[in-house]
C-alpha cells in the first residue's frame, strides 16, 4: 500500500493530538486512583484502542498507522506526561502486535493483531526471571522439542502487563549451556494449560503497568507459534531494546516537562513573604536548572530517534539518551517536587507516581550499569592498553 508523505504527516499529527486529548480526558482523571492500586485493564486498553493509540507502528495493511519511530515517541510523550505507567503498558502491548506482523505475517498476525489494536487482547514480552535480569544468558526457562511443537517450563518475573495479559512473548533456552545463542522466542496464550500467573508485590504507584510474573509447567507451544529461532531471538530483542531505551528516555523527559509546567503555574500563584515564589531568584534557579537539563536530554532523544528512523547504528545513542534522561528525571523530579512545597504531594499532581516511575525506568530495558558498559565499549578498553 503506498501513501504519500503529506498523508503520513497529517495522520501523525492527528494521532499525536488524539494522544494529547486521551491523556487529558482519560488518563488525568484516573491516574491518581490507578496509582493507589485500583487499576482495571478495561479502563485503559479498550479506550486507548478506540482512540487509535495501539495502532502506532503497525503497518497499514494490518489496520495500523505505520508511524515513524519519532512520531510514535511523540505519542508516548503525550501519554507519559500524565501517566508513565499507563503509557508503558500500552506501548508494550502495541509492540507485540508489531512483532507478530514482522515474525508471523500470515499465521499469527491475522489471528491476533486486530484484537491487539482494539485493546480487547493484551500482550507482554517476558525475558526477566528470578535469577536472570541484566545477565540474559542466564535465562533458565527451557523450550524442549515435543512432536510438532515445544514444551516450555520456567518462571518469569517483573513483566509489564503480566497481571492481565492474554498473550505472552516468552524467551526460552532451547539448548542448555549455549547462552544467548540458544534463546528462542515463542508466542503463547495465557489460557494455555500449565500457565499460572504469579504476583509481584510492588509499589501501587506502578499498578497501571500491570507488573507481574508467571510460571510455565509443560506449556505446549505449536511450531507455528515459534516467533524467532534460537540465535535470531537475541538479535531481535537487542534491536527492540534499543528502541525501547529511546522511548523510555523520551517518556522520562515528558514527566519532567509536565512537572515544569505544574511548578511554573504554582510558583506564580503561591505567595510567601509578600510575593510570589517565582519572584525569588533561589526558587527560579531550581526551575532553570531543570529546564536546561530537560533540553539536553531531549536533544539526545531526538538524535537517537533520527538514527532509528534512518536505519543507523543506534546502540550508543540510545544508551546515552536513556542514561542521561533517567538520571535527569530522578534528580529533577525530586527537585521540582521540593519547589512545590507540600502542594506537590497532592493527588492532583503526578510528582510521586512519576518519581517512582523514573527510578524504575533506570532498570527496565537495561539497567544503568548495562548502559554505561555499552557507552564504555565505544572506547574499546583493552587489558594492558596504553
Ligand X SMILES: Cc1cc2nc3c(=O)[nH]c(=O)nc-3n(C[C@H](O)[C@H](O)[C@H](O)COP(=O)(O)OP(=O)(O)OC[C@H]3O[C@@H](n4cnc5c(N)ncnc54)[C@H](O)[C@@H]3O)c2cc1C
Residues contributing to the site for ligand X (CB under 6 A): 92, 124-128, 133-134, 158-160, 209, 211, 360, 363-364, 367-369
Smallest distance, ligand X to C-beta of residue 301, A: 19
* C-beta closer to ligand X: residue 73 or 139: 139
Is-contact 212 264, C-beta < 8 A?
no
Smallest distance, ligand X to C-beta of residue 188, A: 15
* C-beta closer to ligand X: residue 107 or 368: 368
The count of residues in the chain is 386
* C-beta closer to ligand X: residue 214 or 266: 214
Strand-pairing partners, residue 169, are: 125, 187
Show the beta-strand stretches assigned E in the chain. Answer: 123-126, 142-146, 149-159, 167-173, 183-189, 195-199, 212-222, 226-228, 271-272, 275-276
* C-beta closer to ligand X: residue 66 or 360: 360
Smallest distance, ligand X to C-beta of residue 96, A: 11
Q: What are phi and psi for residue 307, nearest 5 degrees?
A: -60, -40
Please state, in angstroms and rounded to a whole number, the distance separating the CA atoms of residues 365 and 248. 8
Smallest distance, ligand X to C-beta of residue 265, A: 29
Residue nearest to ligand X (CB): 133
Rg (CA), the chain: 21
Query: Taking the chain, what is the end-to-end CA distance rounded to the nearest angstrom?
Result: 55
Smallest distance, ligand X to C-beta of residue 147, A: 28
Alpha helix (H) ranges present in 104-180? 108-118
* C-beta closer to ligand X: residue 114 or 203: 203
Smallest distance, ligand X to C-beta of residue 371, A: 9
Query: 215, 126, 211: which is closest to 163 by C-alpha?
Result: 211
* C-beta closer to ligand X: residue 15 or 329: 329
Amino acid at each position: 500500500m503506498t501513501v504519500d508523505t503529506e498523508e503520513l504527516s497529517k495522520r501523525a499529527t492527528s494521532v499525536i493530538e488524539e494522544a494529547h486529548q486521551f491523556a487529558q480526558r482519560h488518563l488525568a482523571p484516573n491516574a491518581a486512583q490507578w496509582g493507589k492500586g485500583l487499576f482495571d485493564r478495561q479502563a485503559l486498553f479498550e479506550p486507548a484502542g478506540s482512540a487509535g493509540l495501539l495502532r502506532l507502528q503497525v503497518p497499514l495493511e494490518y489496520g495500523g498507522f505505520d508511524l515513524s519511530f519519532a512520531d510514535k515517541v511523540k505519542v508516548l510523550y503525550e501519554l507519559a506526561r500524565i501517566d508513565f505507567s499507563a503509557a508503558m503498558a500500552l506501548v508494550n502491548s502495541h509492540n507485540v502486535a508489531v512483532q507478530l506482523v514482522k515474525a508471523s505475517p500470515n499465521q499469527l498476525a491475522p489471528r491476533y493483531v486486530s484484537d491487539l489494536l482494539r485493546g480487547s487482547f493484551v500482550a507482554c514480552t517476558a525475558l526477566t526471571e528470578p535469577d536472570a535480569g541484566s545477565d540474559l544468558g542466564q535465562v533458565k526457562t527451557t523450550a524442549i522439542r515435543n512432536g510438532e511443537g515445544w514444551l516450555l517450563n520456567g518462571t518469569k518475573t517483573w513483566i509489564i502487563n503480566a497481571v492481565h495479559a492474554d498473550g505472552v512473548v516468552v524467551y526460552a533456552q532451547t539448548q542448555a549451556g549455549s547462552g544467548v545463542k540458544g534463546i528462542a522466542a515463542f508466542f503463547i496464550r495465557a489460557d494455555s494449560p500449565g500457565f499460572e500467573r504469579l504476583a509481584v508485590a510492588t509499589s501501587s504507584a506502578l499498578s497501571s503497568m500491570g507488573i507481574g510474573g508467571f510460571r510455565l509447567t509443560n506449556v505446549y507451544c505449536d511450531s507455528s507459534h515459534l516467533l524467532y529461532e534460537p540465535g535470531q531471538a537475541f538479535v531481535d530483542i537487542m534491536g527492540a531494546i534499543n528502541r525501547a531505551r529511546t522511548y523510555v528516555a523520551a517518556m522520562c523527559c515528558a514527566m519532567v516537562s509536565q512537572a515544569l509546567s505544574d511548578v511554573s503555574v504554582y510558583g506564580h500563584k503561591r505567595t510567601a513573604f509578600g510575593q510570589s515564589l517565582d519572584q525569588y531568584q533561589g526558587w527560579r534557579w531550581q526551575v532553570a536548572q531543570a529546564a536546561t537539563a530537560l533540553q539536553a536530554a531531549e536533544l539526545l532523544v531526538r538524535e537517537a530517534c533520527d538514527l532509528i528512523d534512518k536505519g543507523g547504528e543506534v546502540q550508543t545513542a540510545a544508551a546515552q539518551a536513556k542514561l542521561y534522561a533517567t538520571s535527569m528525571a530522578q534528580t529533577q523530579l525530586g527537585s521540582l517536587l521540593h519547589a512545590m512545597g507540600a502542594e506537590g504531594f497532592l493527588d492532583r499532581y503526578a510528582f510521586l507516581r512519576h518519581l517512582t516511575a523514573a527510578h524504575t525506568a533506570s532498570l527496565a530495558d537495561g539497567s544503568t550499569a548495562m548502559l554505561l558498559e555499552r557507552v564504555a565499549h565505544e572506547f574499546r578498553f583493552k587489558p594492558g592498553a596504553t
